[in-house]
Structure 1
Amino acid sequence: MNQIRFAAIAMILLLSAGDAFSQIKKHVTLEDVFKSDVFSQKAVYGINWMRDGKYYSSLRRDVTGPKVVKVNVATGDEEAVLIDGGALGINFSSYAFNPDETKALIASEVESIYRRSSKGIFHVIDIQTSQAQKLMDGEKIMYATLSPDNDKVAFVKDNDLYYVNLSDNQVKRITQDGEWNKIINGAADWVYEEEFSMSRAFEWSPDGSKLAFIRFDESEVPEFNMQTWGKLYPEDYKFKYPKAGEKNALVSIHIHDLNNGNTVKVDAGDDEDIYLPRIYWTGNSDKLAYIRLNRLQNQLDLFYSNSTSGESQLVLQEKSDTYVDLNYNDDLRFLEDGSGFIRTSEQDGFKHVYHHGNDGKLIRQITKGNWEVTNLVAVDEKAKKLYYISTEKSPLERNFYVIGLDGKGKKILAGNNGTYRINMSKDKKYYIADFTNAETPLKVTLHEASGKEVKVLEDNQVLRENVNKYAIGKKEFFQFETVDGTSLNGYILKPENFEESKKYPVLMYVYGGPGSQTVTNSWGGSRDFWHQHLAQEGYLIVSVDNRGTGARGKDFKHMTYANLGKYEVEDQIAGAKYLATLPYVDSSRIGIWGWSYGGYMSSLGLMVGSDVFKTAIAVAPVTTWRYYDTIYTERYLQTPQVNAAGYDDNSPITHVNKLKGNLMLIHGTGDDNVHFQNAVDLADALIKADKQFETMFYPNRNHGIYGGNTTWHLYSLMTDFIKRKL
């Protein structure tokens, strides 16, 4: 009897122990994050709304290859396969339809060049017959684009602009002077691609009879030389890179008439030291619009140009005491009825939407308030409504709204706490919402324009289940005030088993550049899960958005104008001092790390804040703004000829003598963006100042420092350094 009772008790204890064991959550390992992709999330790729509004197309892959499928909006069901890569024998990675959706252009064997540029093999697909027409006999070309009249494709090859007639496969060469490192026709140069977020520099007219394009003469732009390693004799790679204060490419706009073969140059004024970053057809093939910026980017002009004569007239002008941020206000939409245009501007102190007549005169400001419109989603001319995403609820969030073109009837359509991205149908009857927040991975849903949910397209259920198996700490948002009373936003990530009675070291993560944000209520990627790994190892992870960052209005963002680094680093130091007052923070062990602008901030912070920070990691940092490009740097600092102090006073190189703590300097030797030269010169200055530091270079890796085993090696390296030095 006793034996039976003992066995029963033992079984109960064993089951209880097993149940307790099953509740023990895993720790996030580096292998989970960087080798097994345990935390990678799924998305819905290649969504394009079809013209009748009843369907959208989507790119998906299965075992037989890529497919473009046709999805019924009302039911969410796939009704047809429009392009079957397996059947065609083409492993394509992108597609685009012509306006009437009878043809599609697909790209395969795509080869990246810089951040946005690429070349590949292109085929035109007849949707009805599934026949594939290979362009240029399979030679790799750039930016192939179907004409609106369905019978031509324009593209760039070897810096010249071409088009091909699909009916007879005859190729027409529009320009003749394209040459590497001298002349580019129809494609952006390096600095426009990087800083004006553009790569293709040509546009078809609405009727397909004309091609407008930008020509870059970079003959006088200084060359940058990068050596590539891995061969017996390293090779030089030279490309045109205008550093701050140096010569830019001479740019001009041209319009080619396919009917008569004539090309006219657009009149953009007498000043040649300008930027011409945008061209738009106004809906009328007789009239091209373009934007001109002066060298300091504090004056933006919108022009109309006659597409036959090239004569231009000024339509709108915006000036600023600091800068007019084109990238941040790149929302110009010409109305289909030809009555005017919608645009965004920071002119009232916050980014808002404005309605202008065709003559450029302001009709009304549509949105108003101490918040920002971050994205203009769609304009419904028939219903006289405008759809947009804004920060009205919080600068940490992005919600979806609709408002009348008269500025009345504002309504929130998607308002959960978190971050939305919206893809709206052409007829404005439906939209697809991508939603995340700090605790929720990507959820993709289909909605009616009213906001009513139709179907869940992706909920990342597998990822949610995986995350629940791990000891994931919660990201907590907070605010604090600096010495001058400025309130700053931040988040803190604590270990899941956090105990307030303990003292924890802190690692701050910073970017901090103009208009950026790291403190948002959104799901993170692999970097955030690396932070989770560090939290489980006993570190508090903190990020603070300093003055100069985005979503809080023009005054807050433009505060750092002409003096990059000063206020941003002051705020990071203030954040560290605030953290040091918390009872669970070990004030003697506060570190900081960042990448690119964040590497600039972390290295400068360790030097200027030597009494606060113990350790810093600087990945691919700018160490002197004199080495960075014209468009970005001069937008915020003017030229070094005008504002030398703005370039030198807050360079880490200037402050090497103040270094007391532990610095790790990391850079890729093939970084075409922030050149390895930045790391070399900082290292040289540290050596001269007799300061010890650690460094790692990654051969031939670009600004992202990835490829093969690179990411694993990098984060393993940084983890080891943090454990040793913090």
Structure 2
Amino acid sequence: MIKKRFLLLLFVCSSILAQKDIDINELKWLPNSHSFWINSGEKIVVYDVDKLNQGSTVLTDKQLKDAGFNGEVEDLVWNQNKTKVLLYTNSKKVWRANTKGDYWFFDLTTGKGKKLGANLEESSLMFAKFSNDNENVAYVSKHNIYLENLVSGKITPLTTDGTDKVINGTFDWVYEEELAARDGFRWSPDGKSIAYWRVDATETKFHLMINNTDALYPFVVPVEYPKAGEKPSSVKIGVISIASLKTNWLNIPGEPDNNYLVRMEWVAANDVMVVQLNRHQNQASIYNCNAQSGIANLIYQEKSAEWIDVFDISSGVYDGFPCQFVDNGKAFLWSSDADGWMHIYKISKDGKKKELITTGKFDAYFKAYNDKTKSIYYISSPTDATQRYLYETNLNSRKTKRITPEIFEGTNEYEFSTDGSYAKHTNSNINRDLNTRLVSVSDHKKIVPKEADVFTAPTRNFSLEKFKVTTVDGIEMDGIMAKPLDFDSSKKYPLFFYVYGEPMATVANDMPYFNGFIDLLIPKGYIGIAMDNRGTPSLKGTKWRKSIYKNIGIINTRDQAMAAKEILKWNFIDSDRVAVHGWSGGGAVTLNLMFQYPDIYKTGVAISAVTDQHFYDNIYTERYMGLPSENEAAYVEASPVTHAKNLKGNLLYIHGTGDDNVHYKNAEVLINELIKYDRMFNLMIYPNRSHSIYEGEGTRRHLIDTFIKFIEQKAPPGAK
């Protein structure tokens, strides 16, 4: 989000701006177009990619001040025809992001503006957006949805029962964290109604955190948190009429507290499409629902022996609808790995016809669709799972081609215009720094900058290289190795493993960096290794990714340890100085490696680790492990607490007491077990810090120094 104070100039006044003034790193796409806006520091400039020399600017500083606006613009929300805008400012953190704040409305034709939600609490508005008829804005405040008329200024509550436990128009902690759901309401195409989620968490228990530092007496911070084995919160979707304020509830089959309503979108004036997952998340159902009658018709259903990824869980994208409509709304695109690879299918709107669009033994992760050219764009890497490239398959001809030119070897990311015709393209690899350009997608022609591409080496004082290692179990794993620049193969170096190992992320990526902490140690004389085991979201097909099902903490631990055994055979590795580090799920892997394979891993730093799968939330844990009642033996075997008695080496454990994700409870249960067996270890607790351990003056510096000092003492640097 933008955090700069700027001067906004009149939208209707165009100015000629040189392309060299366009900072594409600040690019933000506008709706239904290939126009974008950029904060230049003194003004916001709107560009049409086809007319880059004519940048239009919006509003004047005087108009902002006359309206009473004196904050920092953090984001802009546009109406469909781009004549009106909402300025988002004064934001505050909810769970992971600053999703509540203040909104100001400005009419770009008249230049007039005003603050919305005048009688509501400061910095409490969420997800404000225009009705398609441009008459109203809706937003959430304090778990209720409000309507504000842009002419009269009248504010009408559309829901009134919102509390900390009854949530309208947004989501509880676990939906945001595990289903990437934040924005919980959608305007109908005609602007006459709103469809919204209602989360009833009345039966969901609180996890209580204690704040010991911010008041004379400690106080409790409750976090609504359903743990593995606990029933989900009850969730339903309603459609509220703006005229009558009456809500019609969609009659979606299944118990509302035993299923997940993952995504929802209007697909016609009176039709709402809903994607539902069952509790086990191995059955996805798509319903077409009548907004007035509430009748839900099942149009497509998919089942799996493991779990189903309705969307790319590792993409970091929130609220994205997984169905892209094509053929004038008669069909939609749907991604599935049911045939052994993630592929894109076309499914008729009634669900009766299903066609495979992408073929071949490779994964295809959908990114965008261009309705004019009928081009489907997706990320794939058929020959190297550590890299990412853009591919195109034409919906009509089914011809497939790679779009990313060969010169852009490595990892390629694309941020598409909303019409799918242009994209901000970022390329890098282990020997090439991040470089960004604006391109036309079909031919990958560069629009800006005009200068020739210059690929620069990353600024770092170590080298990176890729490798593969095959374990005794026949598992081939990709790896990235970091070496000091003065590396001498005739000497032996201490080895530092960086691990994650779970289905949310990969670490062996063709990127120009290694790990923020370990990076500081490599030049002092360490070898760094990062490898991806089975179960990580590598582009290696369904079997690779889902072999970890009901075996998190078991399969990934063994894969990492068996690969480490092969690496210890390398003649430049000092097997007496082997360290390992991971955070969160990687912290759990670190502990399991230290406890189950103490003869390999002599030193470890685990941060914010899940020490028992029972303690983590139900959506994530049950997705990958099943319910505890059905898989209790694996839950116990996967827990580092089960194996803590085997600790032999040097362990530093770090956790924040304000962690609402992996609760501090995990630390204390582990500590108790280590004490029980008289196992010596080091401990660093950060009061009231969250999962990322960054809040408070000096925190990150202290964390880094603690980390570095411990490693240098227990696994001294330098070749021998």
Q: TM-score, normalised by structure 2?
A: 0.90
| Structure 2 match to 1:512 | 501
2:445 to 448, 452, 458: 452
Q: Does 1:119 align with 2:100?
A: yes
In structure 2, the residue matched to 1:239 is 223
Match of 1:420, SS?
strand
How far did 1:427 drift?
3.9
The number of equivalent residue pairs is 672
Of residues 539, 544, 548, the one that matches 2:535 is 548
Matched, 1:128 2:97: no
Shift of 1:694: 0.3
Aligned residue in 2 for 1:104: 85
Q: Secondary structure at the match of 1:724?
A: helix
Which residue is equivalent to 2:6?
none
Name which of 350, 373, 390 aligns with 1:400.
390
Contact 2:24–2:438 (8 Å) recurs in 1: no
2:401 equivalent to 1:411: yes
1:536 aligns with one of 510, 514, 523? 523
User: Which residue of the partner structure matches residue 310 of structure 1?
Assistant: 294
Corresponding residue to 2:700 among 693, 696, 711: 711
The answer as to 2:602 corresponding to 1:614 is yes
Q: Is the Cα–Cα contact under 8 Å of residues 338 and 358 in structure 1 kept in the other structure?
A: yes
Does 1:523 find its partner at 2:512? Answer: yes
Deviation track 1:93-128 (CA, whole Å, cap 9, x = no partner) reads 111211000011111110011014621011112122
1:395 CA displacement: 1.0
**Can you list the C-alpha shifts for 1:125-179, whole angstroms capped at 9, x where unaligned?**
2122332220112732122122222121111111111111111111111111111
Give CA-to-partner distance per residue, 1:313-354, whole Å, 9 cap, x none.
101001011111224376321237221111111111111111
Deviation at 1:529, TM superposition (A): 5.0
Q: Which residue of 2 aligns with 1:69?
A: 45
The question of whether the paired residues in 2 share the 8 Å contact of 1:364 and 1:406 is answered with no
Q: Distance in 1 between matches of 2:546 and 2:449?
A: 40
Name the counterpart of 2:477.
488
Task: Show the counterpart of 2:12.
Answer: none
**3-state DSSP of counterpart to 2:160:** coil
Q: Name the counterpart of 1:368.
A: 359
- Report the equivalent of 2:38: 58
The 8 Å contact of residues 116 and 198 in structure 1, kept in 2 or not, is answered as no
SS at match of 2:468: strand
2:157 paired residue among 173, 178, 198: 173
Aligned residue type for 1:417 = E
Deviations 1:667-717 (A, max 9, x none): 011000000100111011000110000010111110111133211111111
Moved more, 500-509 or 532-541: 532-541
CA contact (8 A) 2:188 2:269 kept: yes
Residue aligned with 1:632, SS: helix
| Superposed counterparts of 1:192-591, under 5 Å | 192-230=175-213, 231-328=215-312, 331-335=322-326, 337-374=328-365, 376-406=366-396, 408-415=398-405, 416-448=408-440, 449-456=442-449, 467=458, 472-524=461-513, 528-550=515-537, 551-591=539-579
The equivalent of 1:154 in structure 2 is 138
Q: Is the 8 A contact 1:367 1:407 kept in 2?
A: no
SS in 2 for 1:480: strand
Shift in CA distance, 515/529, structure 1 to aligned 2, threshold 3 Å: closer
SS at 2:633 equivalent? helix
Question: What amino acid is the match of 1:455?
Answer: V
Q: How many angstroms does 1:496 deviate by?
A: 0.5
Say if 2:348 and 2:354, in contact at 8 Å, map to a contact too: yes
Counterpart code for 1:541: G
Question: Is the partner of 1:703 in helix, strand or coil?
Answer: coil
AA partner of residue 307 (structure 2): Y
5 Å-filtered alignment, 1:180-195, equals 180=164, 182-195=165-178
- Give the whole-Å Cα distance in 2 for the aligned partners of 1:50 and 1:313: 30
Given that 1:244 and 1:625 are in contact with CA atoms closer than 8 Å, whether structure 2 keeps it comes out as yes
Instruction: Assess if the C-alpha contact under 8 Å between 2:194 and 2:241 holds in 1.
Output: yes
SS in 2 for 1:344: strand
CA distance, structure 2, for counterparts of residue 80 and residue 145 of structure 1: 23
Question: Are the counterparts in 2 of residues 197 and 327 from structure 1 also a CA contact under 8 Å?
Answer: no
Q: Which moved more, 1:575-584 or 1:616-625?
A: 575-584
Give the root-mean-square deviation of aligned CA atoms: 2.2
Distance 1:234 1:43, change over 3 A: farther
Separation in structure 1 between the aligned mates of residue 31 and residue 224 of structure 2, nearest angstrom: 40
C-alpha distance in structure 1 between counterparts of 2:535 and 2:102, whole Å: 42
Q: Given residue 226 of structure 1, which amino acid in structure 2 is its aligned partner?
A: M
- Which amino acid is 1:82 matched to? V
Give the secondary-structure state (helix, strand or coil) at the position aligned to 2:264.
Answer: strand
Distance 2:87 2:679 in 1: 54
Contact in 2 for aligned 1:444/1:457 (Cα 8 Å): no
SS across alignment from 2:46: strand
What's the counterpart of residue 643 of structure 1? 631
Query: What per-residue deviation string (whole Å, max 9, x for no partner) do you get for residues 351-381 of structure 1?
Result: 111101111133411112222123x222223
**Percent of pairs with identical residues:** 33
Render the CA deviation track for 1:59-117: whole Å, top value 9, x for unaligned.
34x2x5xx421124246446232255686233111112110000111111100110146
**Per the alignment, do residues 428 and 193 of structure 1 end up closer, same or farther by CA in structure 2, a change over 3 Å counting?**
closer
Q: Distance in 1 between matches of 2:453 and 2:684?
A: 36
1:509–1:542 CA contact under 8 A, matched in 2 = yes
1:600 lines up with 2:588 in the alignment: yes
- Greater gyration radius: 1
Shift of 1:46: 4.7
Alpha-carbon distance between aligned partners in 2 of 1:457 and 1:595, rounded to the nearest angstrom: 41
In the alignment, structure 1 segments of 5+ residues that lack a partner are: 1-41
- Aligned residue type for 2:529: V
3-state SS of 1:617 partner: strand
Give the gaps of 5 or more residues in structure 2: 1-22, 65-69, 314-320, 716-720
Return the letter of the residue paired with 2:707.
Answer: M
- Amino acid across the alignment from 1:385: S
- Over 3 Å counting, the alpha-carbon distance change for 1:711 and 1:552 in structure 2 is same
CA change 1:347–1:269 in 2 (3 A) is: same
Is the alpha carbon distance of 1:85 and 1:659 closer, same or farther for their aligned partners in structure 2, counting shifts above 3 Å? farther
